[in-house]
Structure formats: structure tokens, C-alpha cells
Structure 1
Amino acid sequence: MDDASLNDRMAGLTLERKVRLLTGASMFTLRGDDEIGLEPMAFSDGPTGVRGLHFTDGPLTALFPNATLLASSWRTETAEEVGRLLAEEAERQQIHVVLGPTVNLHRTPLGGRLFEAYSEDPLLTGRLAAAYVTGMQSRGIGACPKHLVANEAETERHTVDSVVDERTLRELYLLPFEIAVEDSDPWTLMAAYNDVNGTAATEQSTVNNAILKGEWGWPGLLMSDWFATKSAGPAANGGLDLVMPGPMGPWGPALVAAVEAGEVDESVIDDHLRRLLLLAERVGALDAPRGWRTDLPEPADDVRREQLTRLAAQGMTVLANDGVLPLAREASVALIGRLALETTCMGGGSASVRAPHQVSIADGLAATGAGVRVVDGVAVRNRARAGDFSMRVQLYGASGALISDTVSGEAKVAVGMPEQELPEPATRLVLSATVPAGAMRVGVLGVGSATVTIGGASYDVELASESDDIGGDFLRPPGWQTDVVLDEPSELVADVTVGALSRFGLAAEPTPPTDDDAIAAAVAAAAAAEVAVVVVGLTEEQETEAFDKATLALPGRQDELVSAVAAAARRTVVVVNAATPVLMPWRDEVDAILWAGLPGQEGGHAVAAALLGDIEPAGRLVTSFPAADGESPAWDVVPTDGRLPYDEGVFVGYRGYAARKAAPPAYWFGEGLGYGEWSYGEVTLDGSVVSVEVTNTSARDSREVVQVYLQPAEDDQPVRLVGWTTVDVFSGSTQAVDVAIDARAMRTWDDGVWRPLTSGRLLVARGLGDIRGEVAL
């Protein structure tokens, strides 16, 4: 649509009507306007699945492997496929825009939300993001790369000032957005919560107007993160186009007044509205309602399950293997660990979805017919979590009247959402569900005062807020739990007086064994089996929005469990069920390590396929694994006096390790073994293409990721990834591989302009810990 047509549509609108369209209508929807042919639009969170319009009890939707696991394939084809599949999930729910991908970098391994983001490298992140956007938008669904910019930690995320020098901002944190804009033209982007160098991201005119919309020539719509907008005039002038959520917000009458007072020119409002109308045209929400497809796969059908199993298994990474993997199908296996039984398939926060199922590793291995004995492990959680069952939800208003009585398909409920239509605000809720007989651990989640009754016992509970974050108690609510023994099925009831915005829920699960008993049982099972497979890792307590980690150590006594099993077993394999780095003090005690990420709804099937070699786990790490807490070029996530300095500058991740800014990592970015073995030939350079022959010297067909890094000649320039190619090679075969060098990685920001780097060495490597050849630039 040309500008003249857009101007005609807007000509009859009053200023008030224009401004009204620039704030959401509800939590995830936008208003329409019949006079200009604008239909309402719907947005959904989406990094690991399209949740839809509801935080709880929404429709079932496919749960994808997390972003770091998908990125570990290093395949743009995978990212593009994921974009197409998520577009199908969006179309099935009539969603116009999916809020993803997350393209913030893994600056420090303590970041709680890293599981949503691709990697520590801007080139890898940017090209994968561009492929994802291309795949999604090819199906007419808008993508929304986020969060612009310097949003690499969660602590004090709404107020923190990220202090970043211009060179670092350009070369690292803006580069993934630049690549996505240049290569895929995303229809929307999202501005972050934080400040950058003293100015809110939603008001960053230099980034939003001068760079994004000016220098890069981007025509799309820039929306705020939810509740991120702090002002009317400064945000409107600073390049923000849309405030989310609605219907209330800081714009409305305040923005109208700012225009009338001359603080904001009405042409600025018109530009914001043009961008909104262009988005509407692109997603089929202009002039007529979009026709939605109805022939799409359901989340649990065989097509989707095969896709999600394959995508997860292909990204899994073999970090160590003395030949025990792939497992012999006839071997007797002791499968050990709480996460074998309760596999963490997704992270917490806005990336969580209501999946049709989540296959555990125990169920996945059992389904293969392999001889497996399953043994529980030590505790991995410290907090109550909502159960996997339905519950009755009764809401009461301040008047004492019952204002809602429903059954939720999940044991959690959101209260006070903008789209909830209640005669008065809910101040009290009664949650109830039937709990089976036996030894059970039961509890309640939320913020407020609760009376919990079960099996004739009653408990008075005070649940205090644990977060200053506006959504912290909603995304990870506090909880209380206790152990009971029930002679018969009993009703669990929590009568809660609401204390603050929170998510509420019930917890009920069989009482687990003590850690000492679990370790003893694991040792006995390991000694009796040919192979012990121990599953350890993290949960949504550590990998979640709104909270950062304080350590990379595995929670609880998981390290002790691994060492005890390794001492008793003939062969020991460790599966790490985590999206981000963890410490592995036992890594020299075991025979193999498989990093499995957060593998999505088919996680157990994917891990089984990887362990047995049905699908090669040919992933390569997308972030470096430190050898100890604190041993990372960037570490701290806690601001000092509200400021978080990016003092490491451009020496983030592997760049910093290679420059000896920290002790060598336990595992390098780009590292991974797969099930093949490789030899490399001579490296040559022709223009901007590096060529090398690779030979698969193993007895298995395998996939290799040929990585090329630039080591600049200048001392103040870090090594950096400049290109890569993935290649599938038959056993015993040799293949010529060409790697195109990306010019956007071959430059430095120097006194306000880009300067190409023209001298140094190009390193061909399997991660910087395994350099296979080089050529002078």
C-alpha cells in the first residue's frame, strides 16, 4: 500500500482516534476501526510455542524445543522450518503476530532468560533469527524479534540502566537486529524494558529513529514490551509506534495533550499509524477479515510429533563420548534421576505454553523397547509447582459475592487480566481439586493469605511477594507445600485472599524419596546394569523470565548423585537436561555427556532417538560453558545503584576466552562431537569464500559444522565467527566445503563509521578449542 492510500485512510480520523489505535485493546489484542477498514489483530507470545490469548487454560498448542537447542543445529534451514511451523500454530489460533524470536545475546551465563535466545554470537543469532522470520512471514504471520536492545539479564529488568559503549552496542547487541532487518524485513520489533545509557529503550531516538528506521530503512512497527512504556511524549518522539498491553496505558489522553501542547508533532502520530496500517495489510487485517486455514496439523498428531522429535534430537550435543554412545539397543540400562521421570521440557515465564503432553525421558526410552530400569533421583526443585490436573476456580469480589465459578484445565489460574470480564475485581478465590490416596506432597501457589485443607487437616499460610518485578510473582509465584498421607481420595482446597498481582494454583504429587534413599537406590541399579544413564539439569525455577541465576551449579545433590553412580557403574552416560551452561565437576568420572536442552513436548522421544543413534545428535554449542562460577568474561547480572556496566566490551563469550579475559572454558562455543569423526584438508581462500575438504573417517554417516573465525591482526580486536556451513557426509566420504564470509562480521565500529578488517588469519575450526586449519587474510 502506498503512502497516498494510507494518508487517505487517516485523513478523516481525529487525533483522539489515531492515538486510540496506538495502544492495545487488551492483553494481546489491538483495536479495529471500521471507517478505515482496520480489523482487530491478535498477538501471542511465541519463542517455544504459540500460547494464544490466555496465560492459563488456553487452547492446547505444540511445545517446541527451546531456542538454544534449535540453534545448536547451526542450520538456517531448521530456523526457517521452525518459523513456518510456528506460523501454522498461530494460524490455527487466528493469531496475526507471534512475539519472537528473542535475539538478545548470551552475555553472561547467569541470565535467567537465555533459554529463549539463540547464542552468545551476534552473527549466528542474526542469521538464525532472519531465517525464522522468513519462514514465519512466508505464511502471512508477522514475526517480532526482541528485545531492542541490551536486555541480557532479568534482575531489575524494568529499571536497570545497561551501560554500553557505542562500539560494543554496534558490533554485538545491535548486529543481530541489523541482520534480521536486512535479510528478512520483520514486520514488527519489540523495544525492551531496560534503559540504555540513561534513556529508556522505548525512548531511544538514536536507536529507534536514527538507526532502525533511518540508517537501516526499516518500515515496520516498533511495539513496547508489555508494561515497558514509561512516558507519552518522549516515547512517541523516541520512535515507539505501539504501546502494549491495553486498554489502559501511558498514552491515550496524555499523548493527545502532548500533541496539542506542541511537544509531539501530529506527523509523528501519523507515522506510527501508517506503520500499524502497513502491518495490518501484511497480516490480512485490512479491508476484510483474514481467511484462516483449517487444514493444519493438530499439536499432538503424528506429523507434528515427528517434526518436534527430529528438531529436538538434531540439536542435542555430544560433549564427551568414549564409545558408549550410541547405546546398544540390547544393553541393560539403569535410567536414573528425577529429571528422567519429570523431564524439563520448557522454561518458565511468558515462553511457557499449555502443551498436549510432555514426554519424559523414561517414557521415551521405554517406548523404544530397550531394556530399561527406571530409578528416581535426588530432589531438583525447592519450590511448589502447579500440578498437572484440572481444578475448580471460584472467584469472589470485594462485596463478598461469587462472581465466577469455572473449571480450569490446568491447576493454575491468572486473575486480574485486562481481558477478564468480571462484574467487580476478584479479591478472594477458592481453588479445589481431588487428590488421590497415598503419600502426597500438596500445596498452594500465589501471593496472599491462604487456608489450605486436605484430609481433615487445615493449614494457615502466608505467601509473601518475592519480587519487585511487576510480573515476577505472576511468572514465578511463591508457594507453600507439605507432605500428607491420605487413606482415600480427598479434596484439596485453598481459600486465598489475594495479596497482589500473581498467578495462583494448586500443587499435588506423590511424595518423593529422600535424597539418601534415592542415591542408594541409584547406586544399586547402576551396579546391576551394563550402562547407567543419569539425567541431571535445571528446571523452570532457574530457566525463567524475570529472574536470573546466582550460580551455574546444579541444584540439590545432583553432582553427588552422578559421582556415586559413576563409581558403581560399568559405564556411565550423563544427559544434561538444561538450556544453558551448568558446572560439571564429575565430567572426568563419566564415559559420555549428552547436552539435551529443553527438548519440548516430544523431549523423551528425542533423547531416546539421540542416545540410540536413530537421529544423530549433531549439535554444536551456541554458548561457552565456564569451568567454574565467575570464570566468564562477563558474569554479574546484579546492577549497582541501578546501573549494569558492560565493562567487558566486545570481549563476550568465546571472544573473551580466546583473549584470556577468563580461564579457559570447560567447553567452547561451537564444540560438539556428534557420532562422526573428521579429518580436514588444506584451507584456501578465494575472494570471500573459504574452502576446505572434510572427510568423514567414521563408520557412520554424519553431519559436520565447518566454522570459520577471523583472528584480526589488530591487538584490540577479538576473534569472531565470520561464517559457517553444515554438511552431511556419508561414512568414508570426502566433500569439498565452501564457507562464505559474512562482511557484517568482518568490520569494526571506529569513530562513528564502519571500518573493514582487512588483515589477520581465518581459522577453520570445530570450535576454538579444535582448530583444524588456517589461511592468511
Structure 2
Amino acid sequence: MQHDKSVESLVDQMSLEEQVSLLSGEDLWSLPAIPRLGINKLRVTDGPNGARGSGTYINATTAAAFPAAISLGATWNTELAQQVGQAIAQEVKSKCAHVSLAPTVNIHRTATNGRNFECFSEDPELTAALATAYIKGQQSEGVASTIKHFVGNESEFERTTINSVIDERTLRELYLRPFEDAVKKAGVWAVMSSYNKLNGCYTAENRWLLSETLRKDWGFDGVVMSDWYGSRSTAPTINAGLDLEMPGPTRDRGAKLLAAVADGEVSRDTVRASAMAILTLMKRVGSIDDEQPFVERSDDLESHRALIRKAGAEATVLLKNQDNKLPLDLNNCGTVAVIGPNAKVAQIMGGGSAQLTPHYRISPWDGLVTKLGEQRLVFAEGCSNYRWEPLHQGKTTVAFYDNKHWAGEPVYQEVLDSAIAFWDIDFADNKVSKFNFSARINTSFDAPNTGIYNLGFHCAGYAKVYLDGKLVLDATSQWLKGRTFFEEGCDEIVVQLALEAGKSYDIDILFCNRQPDNIMVSGWRLGISQPLGSEGIQQAANAARNADTAIVFIGRSGEWDTEGSDLEDISLPGRQNELVEAVLEANPNTIVVLQTGGPVELPWLESVPAVLQAWYPGQECGNAIADVLFGDQEPTGRLPQTFPRCWSDNPTHTNSPLNYPGIDGQVEYGEGLDIGYRHYDKHQIKPLFPFGYGLSYTRFQLSDLVVNVSDQNRVDVAVTIENTGQREGATVVQLYTSELAPALDRPSKELKTFAKPIIASGERTTLNFTLGLRDFAYCDVEQGGWRIDAGKFMVSVGFNAEQISASAIINLKDDFQGY
């Protein structure tokens, strides 16, 4: 029978039970099919820097790993963001999915948010512009974007329960801005609510947010879905405007929702409206008629490789370049000491739901070998920067028991390649209940040297670790909830062991599940290492002393920059500062390459000639960095987040934990509008590097600023830019607005738009910008719209938030526009 696939017809052919079935996931990544009506499954996939597919965070079908969002933020290139969005949509299709759970557009409120790497910027307009382009790219391929997390999820501390207290003006002017443009300019097809409460109400139950603001004020016509396990109720969520509970099997809908309809708590029209939204999404992405077999592919495309390499290089920010130390001359840089914990490890992504299994990883060492040949290089690790003890690699057997006491015979067994497991909905071939199981885990470790080793273990569950039959670590009596496994696990417990070279040690782990608090996961991780001591730093200094050039690769990793855990400060982990100082003393001709998901303190900055910030640039990491080091690509990245001199200069660093990270289940955004560069302006704090900062291998000059107020309620801006250097290059011209005598408190300046021209040496061009009245307005909460008070306003252009090259004053009249 041929069914009418129009949405209206389909929804009216459905029973109430069928409509309800579409309002919650069937499993972790899909919605159920309705064969009777010819409706096939809708599938979704993480995430912002690629498409993981249905596999776990540890091991899945390989996928292209694109630069992290903070890298894209550093490009200030909307066209590139659109290309990346389009390419990731192609990756989504390779995983037989229809919806991408991206982009993440929460604002960099604090320098220590563990998820800053996954977000674009501290500035709402830069974030909005990049997100809009990214979404347009994805949806041009018929793949839905899901903009997230809506809203007030600017830290990972108690993120699933904390109450974010944010006044409406601050929400409208800062934290809602990217979402607003995603709806109005990009026509985004899906929105994901955040875990947290907003002003006392969980966002998944917040009618003001989901219905009044998103749908009524902005005209959103897509699907609102919960974050995974972020729905906590039945009637309150659907009545507020949450269409879809994820993941499945359902906890809050299904029979509960049918009962709520029968009891009059939820109307049939409300159910029908949400089912209509789901079917509309299915229609847009073509899943209704998608009968292709579910087969995930690893499409390692040359076009994606090239785009990732280009984007990674373009995101790189040149922070310092004394005496034009960079770019290096391929033929005259001599021998190179390649030093640091990130030199031979490709730090390509942050941690959490953004993780995927990449097609490959190019480390900085690999990139330099390709450029120079291995014979000109020498390596020294120097020190470590890991957060957890290095993962134990090797055959690891797991036997599962359908009880919590390891009783009887195992009901399922598996063999892992390394000592880590992440168990969510489907594991152990569904032979055990995720709420009532235990496991015996066995592996072995061959000690390469005699000495003291660190054994580290953390778990979401309870466990005991035995070495050759002796209990060495107890994560039952010592278990305390920490910042691992999405805040469901304990922090790592580390014990020291004296081991003998050449001896093989048997390691047994007895694990049993713990009832999760919020996220339905269990898991564990075992790491072992023999710590590097001062001799490692000395070896690095010796390598630098005997080389012509030293390049030190330092920073963090996805263990530090990760979902579920904020940083404690912004200092470099471990002994990395000591390493840099020792290398500089041995060889002043030293370049430092940073890889972090946000700002870091740099106490040795005055002594080092050149510094690059390379972020997490995706699978082409080493090639992208080498391209910039040797000048094959310009370092056209500009900081999307201010680098403070020290953590205490950060906007959220106050004497009150209520402001950050929160206390007693609540965090108050007490700084209001004054985040990022606005904070440094207001308090006259000089940052280490200002927002928008970045050097080039050439030089640029701005002149001839002209600003005109037209009769069409717009402001036209023109400025001339000239490349006064010796090579072609690109820079970012940033335009800020200010109200000179505001009637109420306003930031001293606000970014409104930007351009990134490519200009040949000696050439000049005119850049033209158009501003609307909204670009000068503030949110008038009482009247419900955007207001301009008559008076003088300033339009400024420059190369970063500190370096303003020219300004002009204009007069504007009173104006008011509703939401």
C-alpha cells in the first residue's frame, strides 16, 4: 500500500500510541520506525568535530576528526565554518545518520570551563556568525544540525543539576544570541536543551525558554530534544515544549505519557504538535523513506583531509614572533630538537561526547619528519602532562555476571585491546541488566624496568584491583564521586608499586555497578607508568643544547579539556613550565607550540622568541602545525577568547563561589554582561593577549574610516586596509560599537561584525560593513524588545580588542523593536 507521506496526513493516520512512540528514543541513537505507515528510523550522531556514529567513545567506526570548535572560532572565517559543517554532514551520512548533534555554542564565560574547546568563543556575535555558517553548511546536505546546549551551560561543575541564575537582559544580549541567529538566519532544524536549571526550572521543563522565547519570539519550527538523560519528567517537559526525550528506551514517556493524556495532564493536541515536529524533521532529512541497510562506513576522503589540514593551519594563532623567528627556513634551520609531551602524541580533540575514533593521527613529530626528514631531528619527551596515568595497553578479558556478587558462571565474556571500558545502554550483548551486574577483569603488565610505578584507576561503579592476588587499590571504601565518566565516576586513585624488570604481573579487577545519579553509564579505566623525573628535563635540555633549533610542544589534552570536568586553574599541567625554562636556558633559539582548549598562564613568555597556539586541530594536527612553522600557510588565527595573565584576572574569579563554580546547587552569573574582553575593559585589567589578537608573517594597516547613517535605518562603514609587508597574508578586521553616554550600564565596546580579507604584498582594498539598528541597541526587558536611546555612538575598527586603529562618532535617534 502506498502511503501519503505528507506530514499532516501521516500524523492524522497515527494512533495516539504511535504519536507518543515518536517522542522518545528507541535506543541510544535512534527513534523508532512505524512500519504500518512506511515511516523508517531517524538516527542521530555526535558530534561537533566529526561524526562518531553509533560506537562508544572509546572504539567506534573510524571517522574524520575535524578541528575542535575553539579552533574554528580562532579562524574567524565563516566561509570555512560552512565548508566544515558541510563536510561533517557528509560524515554523518557515512554513519547512516540524519541528524548531527552540533554545533555547541555556549559562551566562554570562564577560562576553566572543561568544555570551552567545544565552543567557539567568549563573544556572542563571533559565535553566532560561525554557528550560522556551520549550520547552513550541514543543512545544505540535508542533514539536520542540533544547536546546543540551550541554555546557561557554561561550566561542567554539577552540570546536570545546577541552577544557573541569569537575568533576562544578560540572557538576551549574550547567552541566547547564537541560538537566536541559528533560528532566524540559519533556520536550524533542531535544538538541544541543556541539563541545568535556568532560574530555578530545568531547561527541559522551561516554558519561557522553549515555547515563549524559542518558538513564539523567534519563530522556531523544528524539534527540541533533551540532552542525553536530561529529561526528568513527563507532563512538565512536553507541556513546556520539549518534543523529544533522548536517549531510549524511554524513562519519562511511553506508557507514562499515555497515562498523562488519559489523566488530562497533557492534551492530545500537545502530543500531536510534538509528533508533527518530529515528522517534519524526518521529512527534512529524508529519514521517512530511508530504507538503506544500517551499515556505517569509514570514508577517508582526500577532500576532507585537505579541508582539515587547511582549517587547522588557519586556526593557528601566532602569539609572539620576536625578530621574525618564524617562519623557519626549511634549508637553514639546521638540526631540530623536538621536545615535549605533545611532540609525539597527536592531541587532536577534546574529551567527552566530542570524542571519536579518527581515521589516523598526525603528530607534530610526524609533520616535522615529513618536512625535514628524521635524520635532522632528535626527540626528548622532557616531562609528562597527562591527567590520568597512561592507559594500559594489552589484552584485557572481561567476564560479566548477571548479579552484583560475581556469583555463578559468567553470562558473557569479551576481550578488550586496552584496560578501559565505557558501558552505557547496550553492552555485554544485553545479557546483563545495567542496574545489576558485576564483572571480573584480567590483564597483565610486563615491567620494562626495575623501580617505582604508578598504578591509577577510576571507575563509574565500585571496584577492587589486585596485583598477583594482593589487594593494591580499593575503589569501594575509598570511592567518592568525582569528575570522570561524565561526573558519574570517582577521581583517579593512584598507588605506587615497586616492580622488577622482566617480571610479568597479573592484574585482576572485581567490578560491580553503581546506580547512576544522572547519566546512565558504568565504566572503568586502568593506567600504569614509571614517572619521568628530573632526568627527563635534563635530557631535553641536552637535546636542545646540541641542536640548532628547539621546538617545544606542550599544553593539555582531552583528559584535561573535557566534558564533565572543569579545570582547577589555567596553569600548564605537570612540570611543563620547568621544561620550557630549561630548554630556553640551553638554547635561546626555541619555539613553543601550545595545544590547549583555552587560555593558559605563560610565566616564561618574555624569554621565548616565538609562540604558536595550535588548539586541537583534528587528525591533520602535525601537518597543519608544520605548515605554519615553515610558512607554507599563514598563521591567520586570532584569539576567540582572551588570555588573562593569571587565573585571578578571569571574569568569574571572585571571592564568592556562588559566582563560580557555584555552591549549594546554584551558580549566579553575577558579572552580567561583563565577560571576556568586556570585563578587562571595565576593570582596566591588561590581559596577556587580548580577544581577537594574533600576529601575521606580514603587516597590515587600516586607514580612511568612513561611517554614514542612512535613511534606511542602517549604518554604512567603510575602511581601507593595506598589506605593508613582504608577503601575501590575511588578517581579521574587527568592528566594535559603543554608546558614549548610556542611560544604563553597557559594555565599553561590543564586537558586531568582522572581515578576513586576503591581501597581496603592497596592495590595499576597501572593506564595507553594514550595521542595523539592532547592532546599537540594548535589551529592554520591561518593554520586551530592543531599544536605542537617542545620543552619540562610536564605531571603531581594529585588529583586536586592544588595538583599535580608528573610530568615528555618529548620532542615532530613539528606536524600539520587539523581539
Change in 2 beyond 3 A, CA 1:428/1:482: farther
Deviation at residue 484 of structure 1 after TM alignment: 6.7
Do 1:102 and 1:147's aligned partners in 2 also have CA atoms closer than 8 Å? yes
1:771 aligns with 2:804: yes
Deviation at residue 13 of structure 1 after TM alignment: 3.1
Question: Partner residue of 1:507?
Answer: 527
1:630 aligns with 2:648: yes
Do 1:328 and 1:612's aligned partners in 2 also have CA atoms closer than 8 Å? yes
C-alpha distance in 2 between matches for 1:375 and 1:469: 31
Deviations 1:327-361 (A, max 9, x none): 22231222221121224221111111112332221
Question: Partner residue of 1:753?
Answer: 785
Question: Partner residue of 2:751?
Answer: 721
Query: Which letter does structure 1 place at the counterpart of 2:410?
Result: L
Query: Which letter does structure 2 place at the counterpart of 1:771?
Result: I
1:592 aligns with 2:621: no
**Aligned to 1:352, which of 352, 355, 371?**
355
Deviation at residue 96 of structure 1 after TM alignment: 1.2
Change in 2 beyond 3 A, CA 1:638/1:374: same
Question: Partner residue of 2:814?
Answer: none
C-alpha distance in 1 between matches for 2:204 and 2:484: 17
C-alpha distance in 2 between matches for 1:475 and 1:63: 27
Moved more, 29-38 or 643-652: 29-38
Deviation at residue 587 of structure 1 after TM alignment: 1.0
Do 1:707 and 1:725's aligned partners in 2 also have CA atoms closer than 8 Å? yes
Deviation at residue 702 of structure 1 after TM alignment: 0.7
Deviation at residue 180 of structure 1 after TM alignment: 0.9
Deviation at residue 683 of structure 1 after TM alignment: 0.7
Deviation at residue 10 of structure 1 after TM alignment: 2.4
Secondary structure class of the residue paired with 1:638: coil
Question: Partner residue of 1:340?
Answer: 343
C-alpha distance in 1 between matches for 2:80 and 2:396: 38
Secondary structure class of the residue paired with 2:44: strand
Do 2:719 and 2:766's aligned partners in 1 also have CA atoms closer than 8 Å? yes
Deviation at residue 390 of structure 1 after TM alignment: 6.2
C-alpha distance in 1 between matches for 2:617 and 2:205: 37
**Aligned to 2:633, which of 604, 609, 615?**
615
Question: Partner residue of 2:319?
Answer: 319
1:675 aligns with 2:697: yes
Question: Partner residue of 2:269?
Answer: 267
Deviation at residue 605 of structure 1 after TM alignment: 1.5
C-alpha distance in 1 between matches for 2:178 and 2:348: 27
- In the TM superposition, 1:328-477 aligns within 5 A as 328-329=329-330, 330-331=332-333, 332-369=335-372, 371-387=376-392, 391-398=396-403, 399-408=407-416, 411-418=419-426, 421-425=429-433, 427-432=437-442, 438-439=448-449, 444-446=457-459, 447-453=461-467, 458-463=470-475, 465-467=479-481, 471-472=485-486
C-alpha distance in 2 between matches for 1:632 and 1:70: 23
Query: Which letter does structure 2 place at the counterpart of 1:438?
Result: P
Deviation at residue 257 of structure 1 after TM alignment: 2.3
Change in 2 beyond 3 A, CA 1:288/1:679: closer
Change in 2 beyond 3 A, CA 1:16/1:419: farther
1:647 aligns with 2:670: yes
C-alpha distance in 2 between matches for 1:526 and 1:151: 43
Do 1:722 and 1:742's aligned partners in 2 also have CA atoms closer than 8 Å? no
Change in 2 beyond 3 A, CA 1:30/1:729: same
Secondary structure class of the residue paired with 1:438: coil
Deviation at residue 290 of structure 1 after TM alignment: 5.6
- In the TM superposition, 1:14-53 aligns within 5 A as 14-53=15-54
1:9 aligns with 2:10: yes
C-alpha distance in 2 between matches for 1:7 and 1:248: 25
C-alpha distance in 1 between matches for 2:543 and 2:497: 27
C-alpha distance in 1 between matches for 2:25 and 2:528: 37
Deviation at residue 228 of structure 1 after TM alignment: 1.0
Do 1:189 and 1:222's aligned partners in 2 also have CA atoms closer than 8 Å? yes
Question: Partner residue of 2:72?
Answer: 70
Deviation at residue 412 of structure 1 after TM alignment: 2.7
Question: Partner residue of 2:567?
Answer: 549
TM-score (normalizing by structure 2): 0.89
> Identity, % of aligned pairs?
32
Change in 2 beyond 3 A, CA 1:731/1:566: same
Aligned length: 768
Deviation at residue 129 of structure 1 after TM alignment: 0.6
Change in 2 beyond 3 A, CA 1:353/1:484: farther
Question: Partner residue of 1:701?
Answer: 728
Change in 2 beyond 3 A, CA 1:210/1:326: same
C-alpha distance in 2 between matches for 1:550 and 1:309: 32
- In the TM superposition, 1:101-250 aligns within 5 A as 101-250=103-252
Deviation at residue 474 of structure 1 after TM alignment: 5.8
C-alpha distance in 1 between matches for 2:649 and 2:221: 42
Deviation at residue 386 of structure 1 after TM alignment: 3.1
Deviations 1:520-543 (A, max 9, x none): 122222222232222221122321
CA RMSD, 1 decimal = 2.6
C-alpha distance in 2 between matches for 1:188 and 1:522: 50
TM-score (normalizing by structure 1): 0.93
Deviation at residue 689 of structure 1 after TM alignment: 3.1
Query: Which letter does structure 2 place at the counterpart of 1:425?
Result: S
C-alpha distance in 2 between matches for 1:663 and 1:390: 53
Deviation at residue 325 of structure 1 after TM alignment: 0.8
Secondary structure class of the residue paired with 1:314: helix
Deviations 1:25-60 (A, max 9, x none): 111111111223321121111112211112232211
Query: Which letter does structure 2 place at the counterpart of 1:717?
Result: R
Moved more, 332-341 or 145-154: 332-341
C-alpha distance in 1 between matches for 2:228 and 2:54: 14
Change in 2 beyond 3 A, CA 1:468/1:374: closer
Query: Which letter does structure 2 place at the counterpart of 1:225?
Result: D
Moved more, 589-598 or 565-574: 565-574
Do 1:336 and 1:377's aligned partners in 2 also have CA atoms closer than 8 Å? yes
Deviation at residue 742 of structure 1 after TM alignment: 5.7
Structure 2 gaps, min length 5: 515-520, 654-658, 811-819
Secondary structure class of the residue paired with 2:128: helix
Moved more, 498-507 or 18-27: 498-507
C-alpha distance in 2 between matches for 1:431 and 1:714: 68
Change in 2 beyond 3 A, CA 1:756/1:407: farther
- In the TM superposition, 1:507-526 aligns within 5 A as 507=527, 511-514=530-533, 516-526=534-544
